[in-house]
Amino acid sequence: MERPHFKTRLLDGGIFLAGFDYRGKSANVLNGESVAAWQAVVEEAQANDAVTAVVLVSLKEGIFCAGADLESVHESQRKQDLASIDRLVITVHTLFDTMARSRKPYVAAVEGACLGGGLELALACHARIASTHPKTCFALPEVRLGILPGFGGTLRLPRLVGLPAALELITTGKTIYPRQALRMHLIDGMVASIPSRDRTLEAVQREALVQAAIGKARTLCANLDLPSRLSPGQRFLALPGIRAFVCGYARRQVTKRVRGFYPAPLRAVDAVQRGLRTGVLDGSMRIEKPRLLELMGGSVSADLIGLFLNGETLKRGVKSSSMAPASVGVLGAGLMGGQIARLLAEKDIAVVLRDVSGGVLAKAVGRIHDAQAAQLRKRVILPSEMRHRMMRILPTITLQDMARLPLVIEAVSETLAVKRAVLEEFERIAPPHAVFATNTSSYTVTDIAAQAAHRERCVGLHFFNPVAKLQLVEIVRAPFTSGPALATACAVAKRLGKFPLVVNDGPGFLVNRILSRYLAEAVILAGEGVPIRRIDGIAKTFGMAIDSGRPMGPLELLDLIGLQVAIHVLTSLTVLGPRVERRDELLQTMLPPGRPPLTFWKGREEHPDTVDMIRRYRRLHPQEEGSVSDDAIRQRLFLPMLDEAVRCLSDRIVEHPWQVDFALIHGIGFPAFRGGLLTWGSRRGTPPQFAEQLASLSSRYGTRFEPCPALAGGAWC
Amino acid sequence: MRHVVIVDGFRTPLCKEGTAFRETDADVLGAWVVREMVTRCGNWNLPLETIDCVLGSNVATPMHAVNPTRVAAVVGGLPPSIPADTVAGKNCGSGVTALYYAGLRIRSGDVDTVLVIGMEAMSRIQTAYHHKVAGLLLEYGRAKGVRQRVAGAVALLPKLLNLKKYPPRVGLVLGLTDPMCDLIMGATAENIAKAPAFGMTREDQDAFAVRSHKNAAQAWTQGLFADEVVPMYVPERGVYVERDNGIREDAGLETFREVKPVFDRHYGSVTPANASQITDAAAALLLMEEEKAKALGLPIMGYVREYADFGYEPACMGLAPVGAISLLLRKTSLALKDFSVFEINEAFAAVVLGILRTLDSAALMEQTFGRYGLSGRIGEIPPNDLNPHGGAIALGHPVGVSGLRLAVTSLLELKRRKAERALIGGCVGGGQGVAMVLERK
């Protein structure tokens, strides 16, 4: 039978097959409409005596259900209209409870992503059968969006997989793959199934997965008493006294990770702990729902959901990832080149990795191999996948091997002459349509392409280190960059699962330009004698890099970037004007000739040599006494960033403020709970206020703080 | 008449067991050379579908890849529609035999293009539990509950540790031991070295080994191997390998005199220094029907011609190539002087010396091969033409790859000498010998 979002069919033997196919979206989502449709299906199944069991399947390939419809949630959040969410949650709770209590078994046949509310829907069924489809995965990512699983997940999951596993899934939002899910009894069966191309109920019904689910439904019809599959150990950990201890441990883990900046995981632990004392429906209504609504009403969740939607917008902006070439060249097998090659190989793109030194190449493939071996150990991939991935990378010292590639990404050493030489070499062997993408961080695409024969082929493709972790890729469009070149770069970035943010060419592009102000000021502060620990501590208290799981201050970040690269970037950005002030002497002394560069940190301690060095430097350069308040340090670190962001907007590096916020969160770890740099700024004050603060900093500490005219003029852009 | 040409051929560096390739499986080694060939096909604008089949040579079959050639072909980037199989049974002769079989298929008109690869990961040969211990281990693995588990462990542990009574089966040693005479290959070489008829001394063998090392070292210094060796980037160890690593710079009669014999510790003369090395490597050759290669405008490295093999007493397997060579000469009506380059696999110095001396003496021929109907002096192989750039003693003997290496090395040497014809051959464990004619025109 046809109805909106669900197709149903009564099979022989009373199996009621329901196919979820959200109309008008590429993914199945739960919102008022689809929940109402599902409610109608459930009601019909319950009322019809011919129905003995219900099997739920997705008619979209590669996705079971993506969870709640975030767009409508975000809309309600923006309108502060929590009543509609409240209504939806109540409907869902009663509906899921009807399913769970029904004497007709419900079986979910899961193929593809089963996330958030989708997983909670599956949890409300009596059994779940999953296919080994590569896209099949399970997660409750709600805490990453600042909320908690609100469709009964906090209650049903611990009852199914035990308290510790449930806490981990709920508080981290981590993804579980079918094999792990089977081991932890999240699913009742796993079947290798070939998805049907034809996504109709008739065709899908013949899939091994659906057949297995139907079989499961038949056995459940015979006996619906579901004994708990929790082990004695798991049951012990859920005993009232012990439970408090386990939850306390989970709270400590959470606090360690998010430092109290994010309320959601703690609320989720709360909900799980209290939920174990009550019945599922009761708990959903009285414990889970109030916490969900409280979180929904807060700004953190609104920011995080907005951020997520922005990412989707960026990815959707790339018309099709089919433009992504099947093979890509990477020039330079250094730290960045190797990581880019690894990512490409992992995403099924053949890579020709070229370097002038065989040893460097071998080290790079060695690092890639180790990363794959680690994934193999964690059972993220199978040995065959590892074999294929490793063989997708062809290391070579012959440039000629690059001659037939539609795209090469350049990641050679950060020297203009070298980059230009590489481009020239490449142009000699490549056809004119081959795209040359540079991963430069300190030069503009215009600089690099200055002497190119076909400069329209040049585009920037700026990855951030570590490539596997940071989701942002700046796609740099120079005035001469051709449409196809830009499209190819965007398509590759999208294929790699990154957020392709198109920015206009300019020194430091967007992220490094803003970042440089922050880093430079941190170095100046260190030079004034402010302890390293204090500078980084203040940035960490602000929440910098908290979302990466490793909070980090500017000086630690400098260590990570590498001093040489950092100096290079800062030097190249002096073209922006005197506001990018370097403490060259200070940084240069940290690069003793013939020895590895000093770092600010040595493990968890300040590097004693660096501390000494700073002391010596201060004796040579006596300055005013460096007694600065925490507040002043915070201002000196973050206001210049704000100023630079406004300048980027007025220079039209990007069009919209949300792009700045998005880029900084995903590129340098600006704390997401603050909503992004400009959002944070707009909540803290008005442009003239900031201009005033900057002006006062400028009079005290130097003209580098001079606010930009736009800010003083009272505009954000 | 269809002729078989070799379009291109190369090998990886030969790395001693336990060095650079020690964590790389045979199928992965094979995949590397397949991928290199795929790249070269790209440079020739040759569609990969032109390759009709892949024939591999691998002796120590990896447990996880019973047909390592197939794995290597697909993982290495060939379309899965190209079939692949493996020649394994001819031991050290597998490479030459694979070339022959590939040639046969082309000559018969069955196929036009065959990719022949050889891969051998001798470092990866497994050691197996004694069957009783293995049974107990499996039982222990199946045990349910604490009681069964403890009982299993109690039964297992004493047997597991009693290596005398329940010795593990070391794959490498078993593979090199002939079950027909219970002699390890080195011991069959001792049989030749000790036979009074050959008049072979330890000094003779060591001198031959030194020559092998010196020639190989010189070839590297002159850059001659650059044509046949493709450098390898070993992901498993993160190292770059450009050169064969078995060549001893300190090779000399004095140093080799110090090395103790291993196959007969007290009275023997075959030592690790005058025997071939255990080695990991891979090689690939692209074979094609002559007209097709010409039509496609591909380079021609040489021609695969006649082949002969011969069976001999297993305990004296090292002499079998003599039989193969005389059969081959009889088949082709050629004489030794018609060949400019000889590549005879240096399984052991004693083996090569035994072959040379037998070929060169009517009396020895009569004594050793008379009973098989072969007699008469065949001729002398000029020392300058024999293994001119060293052999398995210096470079190593990756069993399934050696035959292919001989082919590539000899063809490149023919080109350098602007000569016509080469003979390759070697002894095969189990008492066999193979020989093959390669020509440049």
**pLDDT tens digit sequence for B119-138:** 999 999 999 999 999 999 99
Query: If you average pLDDT over every residue of chain A, what do you get?
Result: 90
Q: How crowded is residue A195: how many other Cβ atoms within 10 Å of its Cβ?
A: 18
Our answer to whether residue B41 is catalytic in this structure is no
Model confidence at A470, in pLDDT bands (50, 70, 90)? confident
CATH class of B183-224+305-439: alpha beta
Q: Mutating which of A346, A356, A365, A384 best tests the B interface, going by the most B Cβ atoms within 10 A?
A: A365
pLDDT one-digit tens code per residue, A76-86: 988 888 898 99
- Which residue blocks in B222-303 are alpha helix, DSSP H? 253-257, 290-295
- ipTM of model: 0.90
Asked if B39's CB is within 8 angstroms of A396's CB, the reply is yes
Interface size between A and B, measured as CB pairs under 8 A: 55
Contact B240 A388 (CB under 8 A): no
Does the active-site annotation cover A454? no
- What are B47-100's pLDDT values in tens digits? 999 999 999 999 999 999 999 999 999 999 999 999 999 998 899 999 999 999
B233 touches A at CB < 8 Å? yes
Query: Given this model, what pLDDT does residue A22 score?
Result: 93
Phi, psi of A643 (to 5 degrees): -60, -45
* B238/A367 Cβ within 8 A: yes
- Rounded to the nearest 5 degrees, what angle is found at the Cα of B316, between the Cα atoms of B310 and B318? 65
Interface contact A358-B31, CB threshold 8 A: no
Q: Which residues of B touch A386 (CB under 8 A)?
A: none
Which residues of chain A does CATH 1.10.1040.50 include? Answer: 512-712
Residue A625: the pLDDT is 57
Q: Scanning the structure block, which residue is given the tokens 């606010």?
A: A707
What pLDDT, on a 0 to 100 scale, did the predictor assign at position A4? Answer: 85
Active-site option among A142, A427, A474, A606: A474
Which residues of chain B lie closer than 8 angstroms to A404, CB-CB? Answer: 42
- A342 pLDDT exceeds 60? yes
Q: Does A348 touch chain B (CB under 8 A)?
A: no
Nearest chain A Cα to B74, which residue?
A: A388
- Find the mean pLDDT for residues B186-206: 95
Taking CB atoms and an 8 Å cutoff, what residues of chain A touch B32?
A: 391
In the CATH hierarchy, which fold is given to the domain comprising A512-712?
Answer: N-(1-d-carboxylethyl)-l-norvaline Dehydrogenase; domain 2 (1.10.1040)
**Chain B contact present for A359, CB below 8 A:** yes
User: Would you state the structure tokens that stand for residue B364, as one six-digit string?
Assistant: 């020895």
**Whether A363 and B76 lie within 8 Å, measured CB to CB:** no
Rounded to two decimals, the pTM is 0.88
Whether residue B321 is preceded by a cis peptide bond, meaning omega within 30 degrees of 0, is: no
- Chain A residues whose CB is inside 8 A of the B28 CB are 387, 390-391
- Interface residue B42 vs chain A (CB under 8 A): yes
Topology classification of domain A320-505: Rossmann fold (3.40.50)
Chain A residues in contact with B239 (beta carbon < 8 A): 362, 366
At the topology level of CATH, where does B4-126+278-302 sit?
Peroxisomal Thiolase; Chain A, domain 1 (3.40.47)
Given a cut of 70, whether residue A322 has pLDDT beyond it is no
The CATH fold assigned to A2-302 is 2-enoyl-CoA Hydratase; Chain A, domain 1 (3.90.226)
| Lowest-confidence segment of A689-698, B104-113, B413-422 by average pLDDT | A689-698
Domain spans of chain B? 4-126+278-302, 130-167, 183-224+305-439
Among A622-636, B93-107, B391-405, which stretch is predicted with the lowest mean pLDDT?
A622-636
Q: Which of A362, A367, A404 sits opposite B42 (nearest CB)?
A: A404
Would you say the CATH fold of B183-224+305-439 matches that of B4-126+278-302? yes
| Predicted confidence band of residue A717 (pLDDT cuts 50, 70, 90) | low
* B235 to A358: CB separation less than 8 angstroms, yes or no: no
According to the model, what pLDDT value does residue B25 have? 95
Average pLDDT, chain B: 95
Mean pLDDT score, B28-36: 96
Residue A561: pLDDT over 90: no
Mean pLDDT across the stretch B316-338? 96
Give B270-315 pLDDT, tens digit per residue: 999 999 999 999 999 999 999 999 999 999 999 999 999 999 999 9
User: Does the beta-carbon distance from B35 to A390 stay under 8 Å?
Assistant: no
**pLDDT band, residue A623 (cuts 50/70/90):** low
Tokens (6 digits) for A9: 């069919």
pLDDT tens digit sequence for A14-25:
999 999 999 988
Q: Which strands sit side by side in the sheet containing A127-131, from one edge to the other?
A: A2-3, A6-10, A15-20, A53-58, A106-110, A127-131, A189-191
Cβ–Cβ below 8 Å for B39 and A388: no
pLDDT tens per residue across span B182-194: 999 999 999 999 9
Copy the structure tokens of residue A609: 């040599």
What pLDDT score was predicted for residue B249?
A: 87
- Contact at 8 Å (CB) between A356 and A447? no
Say which of B15, B92, B213, B389 is annotated catalytic.
B92
Query: What is the strand order of the sheet A350-354 is part of?
Result: A393-396, A350-354, A327-331, A407-410, A435-438, A458-463, A472-477, A499-504
Distance from the Cα of A387 to chain B's closest Cα (Å) equals 7
Task: Say which residue the tokens 């062809």 belong to.
Answer: A394
What is the pLDDT at residue A12?
A: 87
pLDDT tier, A1 (very low <50, low <70, confident <90, very high otherwise): low
In chain A, residues 394-453 whose CB comes closer than 8 Å to chain B: 394-397, 400-401, 404
Which range, of A150-159, A394-403, A454-463, A610-619, averages the lowest pLDDT? A610-619
**Does B75 sit within 8 Å of A366, measured CB to CB?**
no
Catalytic residue among A34, A58, A284, A441: A441
